[in-house]
Protein backbone atom coordinates (compact mmCIF):
# COMPACT_ATOMS: atom_id res chain seq x y z
CA UNK A 1 0.00 0.00 0.00
CA UNK A 2 1.41 3.37 -0.99
CA UNK A 3 1.00 6.31 1.41
CA UNK A 4 -1.37 9.14 0.56
CA UNK A 5 0.40 11.19 -2.10
CA UNK A 6 0.31 14.48 -0.23
CA UNK A 7 -0.54 14.14 3.45
CA UNK A 8 -0.51 17.94 3.73
CA UNK A 9 -3.38 18.15 1.21
CA UNK A 10 -5.64 16.81 3.95
CA UNK A 11 -4.28 19.17 6.61
CA UNK A 12 -7.12 20.65 8.62
CA UNK A 13 -9.62 18.18 7.23
CA UNK A 14 -11.54 15.53 9.09
CA UNK A 15 -9.68 12.59 7.55
CA UNK A 16 -6.30 13.95 8.57
CA UNK A 17 -7.49 14.70 12.09
CA UNK A 18 -8.72 11.12 12.48
CA UNK A 19 -5.46 9.75 11.03
CA UNK A 20 -3.42 11.81 13.48
CA UNK A 21 -5.51 10.59 16.43
CA UNK A 22 -5.04 7.00 15.28
CA UNK A 23 -8.79 6.47 14.90
CA UNK A 24 -8.49 5.33 11.26
CA UNK A 25 -5.75 4.05 8.99
CA UNK A 26 -4.69 5.50 5.64
CA UNK A 27 -6.28 2.48 3.94
CA UNK A 28 -9.60 3.10 5.71
CA UNK A 29 -9.47 6.79 4.79
CA UNK A 30 -8.71 5.95 1.17
CA UNK A 31 -11.65 3.51 1.06
CA UNK A 32 -14.01 6.03 2.69
CA UNK A 33 -12.93 8.72 0.21
CA UNK A 34 -13.66 6.32 -2.68
CA UNK A 35 -17.13 5.65 -1.27
CA UNK A 36 -17.64 9.38 -0.78
CA UNK A 37 -16.65 10.04 -4.40
CA UNK A 38 -19.21 7.45 -5.62
CA UNK A 39 -22.06 8.33 -3.25
CA UNK A 40 -21.48 12.06 -2.55
CA UNK A 41 -22.00 11.68 1.20
CA UNK A 42 -20.32 13.35 4.15
CA UNK A 43 -17.00 11.77 5.04
CA UNK A 44 -17.83 11.52 8.73
CA UNK A 45 -21.10 9.70 8.06
CA UNK A 46 -19.38 7.34 5.63
CA UNK A 47 -16.65 6.51 8.16
CA UNK A 48 -19.34 5.68 10.73
CA UNK A 49 -21.37 3.60 8.23
CA UNK A 50 -18.26 1.64 7.28
CA UNK A 51 -17.54 0.98 10.97
CA UNK A 52 -14.16 2.74 10.84
CA UNK A 53 -15.05 5.41 13.39
CA UNK A 54 -17.76 6.11 15.94
CA UNK A 55 -20.05 9.12 15.82
CA UNK A 56 -18.27 10.35 18.96
CA UNK A 57 -14.87 10.06 17.20
CA UNK A 58 -16.18 12.20 14.34
CA UNK A 59 -17.74 14.86 16.58
CA UNK A 60 -14.63 15.09 18.76
CA UNK A 61 -12.38 15.47 15.70
CA UNK A 62 -14.66 18.15 14.22
CA UNK A 63 -14.78 19.94 17.57
CA UNK A 64 -10.98 20.09 17.71
CA UNK A 65 -10.74 21.05 14.04
CA UNK A 66 -13.19 23.94 14.45
CA UNK A 67 -12.07 24.84 17.99
CA UNK A 68 -15.37 24.10 19.75
CA UNK A 69 -15.58 22.17 23.02
CA UNK A 70 -17.23 18.75 23.06
CA UNK A 71 -19.92 18.16 25.67
CA UNK A 72 -21.14 14.61 26.26
CA UNK A 73 -24.75 15.00 27.38
CA UNK A 74 -25.27 11.62 29.04
CA UNK A 75 -24.09 12.77 32.48
CA UNK A 76 -25.26 16.36 32.24
CA UNK A 77 -28.43 17.54 34.01
CA UNK A 78 -30.13 20.53 32.38
CA UNK A 79 -32.44 22.82 34.34
CA UNK A 80 -36.05 22.79 33.09
CA UNK A 81 -36.08 26.63 32.99
CA UNK A 82 -33.18 26.54 30.53
CA UNK A 83 -34.95 23.94 28.36
CA UNK A 84 -37.95 26.30 28.09
CA UNK A 85 -35.76 28.91 26.36
CA UNK A 86 -35.79 26.99 23.08
CA UNK A 87 -39.11 25.59 21.82
CA UNK A 88 -39.17 21.87 21.07
CA UNK A 89 -39.79 22.39 17.34
CA UNK A 90 -36.63 24.55 17.05
CA UNK A 91 -34.63 22.02 19.07
CA UNK A 92 -35.74 19.21 16.75
CA UNK A 93 -35.35 21.25 13.55
CA UNK A 94 -31.72 22.18 14.24
CA UNK A 95 -30.66 19.29 16.54
CA UNK A 96 -29.81 21.80 19.24
CA UNK A 97 -30.35 21.91 22.98
CA UNK A 98 -29.90 24.72 25.50
CA UNK A 99 -27.70 23.56 28.36
CA UNK A 100 -27.01 26.60 30.53
CA UNK A 101 -27.65 30.32 30.79
CA UNK A 102 -25.49 32.80 32.64
CA UNK A 103 -26.41 36.46 32.31
CA UNK A 104 -26.97 37.19 28.63
CA UNK A 105 -25.04 34.11 27.42
CA UNK A 106 -26.93 30.97 26.47
CA UNK A 107 -24.84 27.84 26.09
CA UNK A 108 -26.17 25.43 23.49
CA UNK A 109 -25.08 22.04 22.25
CA UNK A 110 -25.40 21.28 18.54
CA UNK A 111 -24.28 18.48 16.25
CA UNK A 112 -23.70 20.59 13.12
CA UNK A 113 -21.03 23.20 13.79
CA UNK A 114 -21.53 24.76 10.38
CA UNK A 115 -25.24 25.53 10.82
CA UNK A 116 -25.02 29.30 11.17
CA UNK A 117 -28.75 29.61 10.39
CA UNK A 118 -29.58 27.71 13.59
CA UNK A 119 -27.34 29.93 15.71
CA UNK A 120 -28.76 33.13 14.19
CA UNK A 121 -32.36 32.00 14.72
CA UNK A 122 -31.68 31.02 18.33
CA UNK A 123 -29.89 34.32 19.03
CA UNK A 124 -32.95 36.22 17.80
CA UNK A 125 -35.33 33.94 19.68
CA UNK A 126 -33.63 34.21 23.08
CA UNK A 127 -32.01 37.63 22.64
CA UNK A 128 -28.74 36.31 24.07
CA UNK A 129 -25.20 35.72 22.95
CA UNK A 130 -24.68 32.07 22.09
CA UNK A 131 -21.83 29.89 23.31
CA UNK A 132 -21.54 26.68 21.30
CA UNK A 133 -20.59 23.19 22.41
CA UNK A 134 -20.86 20.11 20.22
CA UNK A 135 -22.20 16.67 20.89
CA UNK A 136 -23.24 13.66 18.86
CA UNK A 137 -26.50 13.56 16.95
CA UNK A 138 -27.55 10.52 18.99
CA UNK A 139 -26.89 12.22 22.34
CA UNK A 140 -28.79 15.34 21.27
CA UNK A 141 -31.78 13.32 19.98
CA UNK A 142 -31.93 11.34 23.23
CA UNK A 143 -31.66 14.52 25.32
CA UNK A 144 -34.40 16.25 23.31
CA UNK A 145 -36.68 13.24 23.84
CA UNK A 146 -35.89 13.15 27.54
CA UNK A 147 -36.13 16.86 28.38
CA UNK A 148 -39.08 17.82 26.19
CA UNK A 149 -41.16 14.80 27.23
CA UNK A 150 -40.31 15.65 30.86
CA UNK A 151 -41.44 19.25 30.24
CA UNK A 152 -44.77 18.02 28.82
CA UNK A 153 -45.40 15.90 31.93
CA UNK A 154 -44.67 18.82 34.28
CA UNK A 155 -47.21 21.15 32.61
84-108 pLDDT tens trace = 999 999 999 999 999 999 999 999 9
Q: Considering the chain, what percentage of its residues have pLDDT values greater than 90?
A: 57
SS3 96: strand
pLDDT of residue 2: 34
Rounded Cα distance, 125 and 72, in Å: 25
Q: State yes or no: pLDDT of 152 exceeds 80.
A: no
80-154: CATH homologous superfamily? Type II secretion system, protein E, N-terminal domain (3.30.300.160)
pLDDT tens-digit series, residues 75-85: 889 999 999 99
Rounded Cα distance, 68 and 39, in Å: 29
pLDDT of residue 3: 35
Q: Per-domain residue ranges for the chain? A: 7-65, 80-154
The segment with the largest mean pLDDT, out of 66-70, 79-83, 109-113, is: 79-83
Decide the pairing of beta strands 105-110 and 96-102: antiparallel
Amino acid sequence: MEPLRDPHALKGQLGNALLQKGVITEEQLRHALEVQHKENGLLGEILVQLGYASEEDIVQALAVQHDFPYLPLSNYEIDSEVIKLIPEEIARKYHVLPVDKMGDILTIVIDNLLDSEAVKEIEKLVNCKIEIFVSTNKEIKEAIEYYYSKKDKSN
